[in-house]
Amino acid sequence: MNAVIYTRVSTTEQAKHGYSLASQELECKKFAEKEGMKVVKIYREEGVSAKTTNRPQLQNLIKFCIENKKSINCIIVWKFDRFTRKLEDQIELFGKMQKYNIRILSATENNEESAIGNLVRNVIGTFAQFENDIKSERVTAGMKEAFLQGNWLWKAPIGYKMIGKKLYIDEIKGSHIKKIFEDFATGLYRQTDLLNYLKDNNIKISANTLCDLLRKPVYYGYLVNEKYSKEPIKGDFEPIVDEQTFYRVQAILNGNKAQAVPHLRQNPMFPLKQFITCPYCNQSLTGDTPHGRKGQKYYYYRCYNKDCIAHFNISKDKLENNFVEYLTKIKPDKSLLKLFKTIMNDVYNKSTEEARNSYNSFNKQLEGINNNKSKLLDLLIEEKISSDAYKMKVEQFEKAELDLKSKIAVNDIPENDFNECLEYACNVLDNLDKFWLNSKIDIKERLQKIIFPNGLRYESGVFRNSQMSSLFKIIGTLSVPSINMVPPSEFESLSTP
């Protein structure tokens, strides 16, 4: 057991009673010896005021004890009142030491039964608890206040940075986050595509983190925390994406909005890999590059199924030439395309009218909900309903409100560049073979998937498809009234016809 001794005399005491530091020290040492303790250090406070804060030696002692909390077991004083007469100070000190498992013992008083000892023991627990409660109450109240003022209270989310206590968009990372939201909102990308994009731009996060990230209202500038507020609070910082984009993303995540067929990243040498299947076993072909004897490369598509009877393979050039030829065969003829254009225009006009109508109706409903909410609040203020009833009802309204907002976000009113898009799409269809040949790998793949969602089977020079896309079916029959347009912006940005 290691002990530290603390002795103190005020100038008056020394003069009046002769409680010298030396005699205090002696009694403390005797006590330590009796208790079998080793004295490792002695602090002597001479002629200073009773205030703890003004006592340098006491401060040193506390510092020493904290620094050596593992090896110090107790502090010995001549009398408890050596520390301080002020109860708060006393309690604070005892509490602090108790936290480090350091006992404070009096050399001349009964350590178990002394009045101050008992009081301190009883009070410390309550007082410490009380202090904690007050502190956390204050912190919570402060945080709530800051939250309601739109302050971000936590670690900056990816794409943002904290400067002082304010959230700012991190220019580089923020632009990447904006890009993944906007890409995902088109419905043309999978989450793994976003992850790869982020990885390429030095933002390495897990799939789970990405999933959480896409749902965080902070990105459209709102704070949501049930603890502080039932309603989302408009943040005092710039949003990274607009509300419309955010809600589109939510709709896709919730499965309310269809995603276009996902594509796999591929070797640009083999655009038909994983798309054309083996004529013998129906497994997807993969790319292969065997080297010739003189080091020259030969490109092949090959069936790697070890159970396949044929180990089918075909040279890249042959398969791709056949494929392009096939595209020229299936592309619709010009008169059909013209008819298709006319019909699409009709469909467009009809569907925009519908979309506008439902847009107006959704907004009317939203207005209705807001009116009801404010009426409800009036009722609460007039004490005509209980706060429980209010809460319950408000929750219902809010749920309906959220539902409507997400419906509005998904309810596309096609842009006015529809005609341009249609022209473009028809141009692609008219030049399918050339378009495929001249496109980059990802456009090639997407085009293949759009035309043949289930891939193609190659059989002695002939392609067989189990299913052609609805687009081609429509052009083939021109009888289906509505069609899900895939926004062609992706094509435009990546390749020109």
Q: Which residues are catalytic?
A: 10
CA distance 302 to 300: 6
Among 278, 327, 369, 432, binds Zn ion (CB under 5 A): 278
**Whose Cβ is closer to Zn ion: residue 312's or residue 323's?**
312
**Whose Cβ is closer to Zn ion: residue 303's or residue 471's?**
303
CA distance 339 to 332: 11
Task: Quickly count: other Cβ atoms within 10 Å of residue 467's Cβ.
Answer: 11
Least distance CB 310 / Zn ion (angstroms): 6
**Whose Cβ is closer to Zn ion: residue 194's or residue 278's?**
278
Least distance CB 305 / Zn ion (angstroms): 5
- Residue 122 structure tokens: 């009883």
Segment contacting Zn ion by CB under 5 A, of 15-23, 65-73, 301-309, 463-471: 301-309
**Whose Cβ is closer to Zn ion: residue 303's or residue 409's?**
303
CA distance 379 to 357: 33
Q: What is the DSSP string of 424-476?
A: HHHHHHHTHHHHHHHS-HHHHHHHHHHH-TT-EEEETTEEE-S---HHHHHHH
Segment contacting Zn ion by CB under 5 A, of 44-52, 223-231, 238-246, 295-303: 295-303
Least distance CB 466 / Zn ion (angstroms): 17
Q: Quick check: 303 binds Zn ion (CB under 5 A)?
A: yes
Residue type, 381: I
Q: How many residues bind Zn ion (CB under 5 A)?
A: 7
Q: Which residues pair with 233 in a beta bridge?
A: 223
Among 40, 153, 308, 379, binds Zn ion (CB under 5 A): 308
Helices (H), 382-416: 387-410
Q: What phi, psi does 156 have (nearest 5°)?
A: -60, 130
Segment contacting Zn ion by CB under 5 A, of 21-29, 34-42, 115-123, 296-304: 296-304
Of residues 435-464, those binding Zn ion (CB under 5 A): none
Q: Quick check: 76 binds Zn ion (CB under 5 A)?
A: no
Over the window 228 to 267, marking each residue x when it contacts Zn ion by CB under 5 A and - when it does not, the resulting string is ----------------------------------------
Segment contacting Zn ion by CB under 5 A, of 55-63, 219-227, 311-319, 432-440: 311-319
CA distance 451 to 468: 6
Least distance CB 286 / Zn ion (angstroms): 11
CA distance 103 to 85: 19
**Whose Cβ is closer to Zn ion: residue 38's or residue 318's?**
318
CA distance 94 to 103: 8
Segment contacting Zn ion by CB under 5 A, of 24-32, 237-245, 304-312, 389-397: 304-312
Return the DSSP state at 262: P
**Whose Cβ is closer to Zn ion: residue 160's or residue 312's?**
312
**Whose Cβ is closer to Zn ion: residue 7's or residue 305's?**
305
Q: In what order do the strands lie in the sheet with 300-302?
A: 286-288, 300-302, 313-315
Least distance CB 458 / Zn ion (angstroms): 11
Least distance CB 342 / Zn ion (angstroms): 45
**Whose Cβ is closer to Zn ion: residue 143's or residue 308's?**
308
Return the DSSP state at 297: B
- Beta carbons of 100 and 74 less than 8 angstroms apart: no
CA distance 125 to 97: 13
Q: What is the DSSP string of 32-56?
A: HHHTT-EEEEEEEEES--S-GGG-H
Segment contacting Zn ion by CB under 5 A, of 36-44, 125-133, 302-310, 360-368: 302-310
Least distance CB 232 / Zn ion (angstroms): 55
Q: Quick check: 281 binds Zn ion (CB under 5 A)?
A: yes
CA distances to 20, 49, 315 from 12, in Å: 11, 10, 107
Q: Quick check: 146 binds Zn ion (CB under 5 A)?
A: no
Contact set with Zn ion (CB under 5 A): 278, 280-281, 303, 305, 308, 312
